[in-house]
A and B are shown apart, each in its own frame.
Chain A
């Protein structure tokens, strides 16, 4: 890791003023992706602003028909939260399947979505749930927030403060793990609210998380795994290929995981 100046603000206000002042700064949330990236010298910010000392950014509460999850809330907290487990068990399960127990103690929802790793779990989940991302400057729907592989709509100096997740959806996430890294090789999140169905795919797309609209249309008619029979899987040409899985295999797995997610969302 290259040297950097370390800052640990105690309030969001201090954090705001630091990101304004420091040009080439990286925001450190749980650090479970940023630190490995910096250790490999794939990132070398001149300053790091650690948000772990800002208590107002963490915590989960229910406000009306929404769960409000602080950006610095850890995956472990989301996975074991009584509120999340009761309102959106599929989201708790998604969080409980990220990384391993130790990573889940550190990694945060804000850090995960700000990085928008193409193999991360939250982007697909939040897209399928129609979540809203709140920053220190504005609110935006998840669909506008995730703009491509490792890229988001966040501007320079913008800090995610919370994520608003509407409850009442039928939701599940099914993941096929990369056997080595255990990241999603293919992850499919399915959310149904009223007549609207969103099928979001992570791990497979060459440009990050994407929606599988053909499946959404079919599931919109009848929300059952069988509705996906006869639907053509996303084309291999738009999918990742690597030493673990060809694009063809990923395309196939999207269909399998989507069926499992639908089955999971309808079970109860």
Chain B
């Protein structure tokens, strides 16, 4: 985490973003903590020329692990900045408070803003090199103490056309507990995408090979990608039970939709069919065959 002398911040992170919105969420975290505008925070990722080490984004870990490392770096930045501020404000370090982007001396109206402290950290006019090493730049690594355990309930309501076997998702309701949420819009976006992928897995998507190992579903002419009219809008909500194993109380959210959706869809489909003799993907043909078996059983 590099604080520039003008008070802008550059965060180099090994958590790569390819659409999960780290640039927004991580910047929100840093801006909120340091009391600076979000535009003043740059998130740098995915460039091996700049970022020393990273293992990508997977396992719903960028919030819980990547942001925990950012929190640790922020702790170090704040601690160092307090030292700088104590020289600028000519007060004991223990008497320095940091709130809303301002360092102040307890019980006085003396204060200095974050950007001024950043500048003083580099120009080092208020302290000597023996008292404090100049600069405001910290790094942190974070190894989680445990997994996170998000939980939730997804309810799929489906309608099956017995003539054709077409399954329609009539309504989707999901409530998840992802612990503390930094950006609800982005978290909901992750859930939407996960649900769509899970519905795709349950009803549409399948890689089919012939006897010679030739992939038969090699283009969208044969591989059924979910399209907008295959899906409903989703009703998504959350409860908040902070995670005990990381400093922000965050749980993973990226995979929740894709984990819950196949089970919810297939439970709904088998509930409608009255038996469980059907595999994913429950394509119209598969559902039609399974429904015929249901009718035959009902007629017995």
Tell me if chains A and B make direct contact, with any CB pair below 8 A. yes
* Shortest Cβ gap from B207 to chain A (Å): 10
B223 contacts across to A, CB distance below 8 A? 180
Chain B at the A interface: SS class: loop
B217 interfacial contact with A, CB 8 Å: yes
Interface 1/0s, chain A 180-200, versus B by CB < 8 A? 110000000000000000000
B163 contacts across to A, CB distance below 8 A? 256
Task: Identify the closest chain B residue to A36 (Cβ).
Answer: B221
B58 interfacial contact with A, CB 8 Å: no
Q: Say whether A252 contacts B217, CB under 8 Å.
A: no
**Could you say which of A180, A243, A253 contacts B164, with CB atoms under 8 Å apart?**
A253
* Shortest Cβ gap from A251 to chain B (Å): 12
CA distance in complex: A256, B204 (Å): 21
CA distance in complex: A263, B264 (Å): 35
Q: Say whether B164 contacts A176, CB under 8 Å.
A: yes
B208 interfacial contact with A, CB 8 Å: yes
* Shortest Cβ gap from B243 to chain A (Å): 39
**Could you say which of A181, A244, A253, A256 contacts B283, with CB atoms under 8 Å apart?**
A244
| Interface positions of A from 211 to 268, Cβ below 8 Å from B | 243-246, 249, 252-253, 256
B224 interfacial contact with A, CB 8 Å: yes
Interface 1/0s, chain A 138-180, versus B by CB < 8 A? 0000000000000000000000000000000000000010011
Q: Say whether B221 contacts A180, CB under 8 Å.
A: yes
Task: Identify the closest chain B residue to A255 (Cβ).
Answer: B163
**Could you say which of B222, B284, B288, B289 contacts A243, with CB atoms under 8 Å apart?**
B222
Interface 1/0s, chain B 197-209, versus A by CB < 8 A? 0000000100010
B222 contacts across to A, CB distance below 8 A? 180-181, 243-244
Q: Say whether A249 contacts B224, CB under 8 Å.
A: no
Please report the total number of B residues contacting A with Cβ < 8 Å.
Answer: 17
A256 contacts across to B, CB distance below 8 A? 163-164
Task: Identify the closest chain A residue to B289 (Cβ).
Answer: A249
Q: Say whether A179 contacts B284, CB under 8 Å.
A: yes
CA distance in complex: A186, B269 (Å): 24
A252 contacts across to B, CB distance below 8 A? 288
B225 contacts across to A, CB distance below 8 A? 180
Q: Say whether B216 contacts A243, CB under 8 Å.
A: yes
Q: Say whether B217 contacts A179, CB under 8 Å.
A: no
CA distance in complex: A200, B104 (Å): 83
Q: Say whether B224 contacts A179, CB under 8 Å.
A: yes
Knowing A253-B164, A256-B163, A256-B164 are in contact, say whether A245-B224 is a contact too (CB < 8 A).
no
Interface 1/0s, chain B 167-209, versus A by CB < 8 A? 0000000000000000000000000000000000000100010
Knowing A179-B284, A256-B163 are in contact, say whether A243-B208 is a contact too (CB < 8 A).
yes
Task: Identify the closest chain A residue to B286 (Cβ).
Answer: A249
A253 contacts across to B, CB distance below 8 A? 164
* Shortest Cβ gap from A168 to chain B (Å): 31
CA distance in complex: A244, B217 (Å): 10
A249 contacts across to B, CB distance below 8 A? 285, 288-289
Task: Identify the closest chain A residue to B223 (Cβ).
Answer: A180
Q: Say whether A244 contacts B221, CB under 8 Å.
A: no
**Could you say which of B216, B283, B289 contacts A179, with CB atoms under 8 Å apart?**
B283
* Shortest Cβ gap from B279 to chain A (Å): 14
Of the candidates A180, A246, A252, the one having the most CB atoms from chain B within 10 angstroms of its own CB is A180
Task: Identify the closest chain A residue to B203 (Cβ).
Answer: A179
CA distance in complex: A225, B221 (Å): 32
CA distance in complex: A243, B216 (Å): 8
CA distance in complex: A179, B225 (Å): 9
CA distance in complex: A243, B221 (Å): 12
CA distance in complex: A181, B224 (Å): 7
**Could you say which of A176, A181, A246 contacts B221, with CB atoms under 8 Å apart?**
A181
CA distance in complex: A249, B208 (Å): 19
B289 contacts across to A, CB distance below 8 A? 249
CA distance in complex: A244, B164 (Å): 13
| Interface positions of B from 220 to 273, Cβ below 8 Å from A | 220-225
Interface 1/0s, chain B 264-300, versus A by CB < 8 A? 0000000000000000000111001100000000000
* Shortest Cβ gap from A74 to chain B (Å): 22
Knowing A256-B163, A256-B164 are in contact, say whether A180-B285 is a contact too (CB < 8 A).
no
**Could you say which of A180, A245, A246 contacts B220, with CB atoms under 8 Å apart?**
A180
B285 contacts across to A, CB distance below 8 A? 244-246, 249
* Shortest Cβ gap from A72 to chain B (Å): 25
CA distance in complex: A249, B165 (Å): 10
A180 contacts across to B, CB distance below 8 A? 204, 217, 220-225
A246 contacts across to B, CB distance below 8 A? 285
Q: Pull 26 A–B residue pairs with CB atoms less than 8 Å apart, ordered by A.
A: A176-B164, A179-B204, A179-B224, A179-B283, A180-B204, A180-B217, A180-B221, A180-B222, A180-B223, A180-B225, A181-B220, A181-B221, A181-B222, A243-B208, A243-B216, A243-B217, A244-B222, A245-B285, A246-B285, A249-B285, A249-B288, A249-B289, A252-B288, A253-B164, A256-B163, A256-B164
Closest 10 pairs (CB-CB, A-B): A180-B224, A181-B221, A179-B224, A256-B163, A249-B285, A243-B208, A180-B222, A245-B285, A243-B216, A180-B223
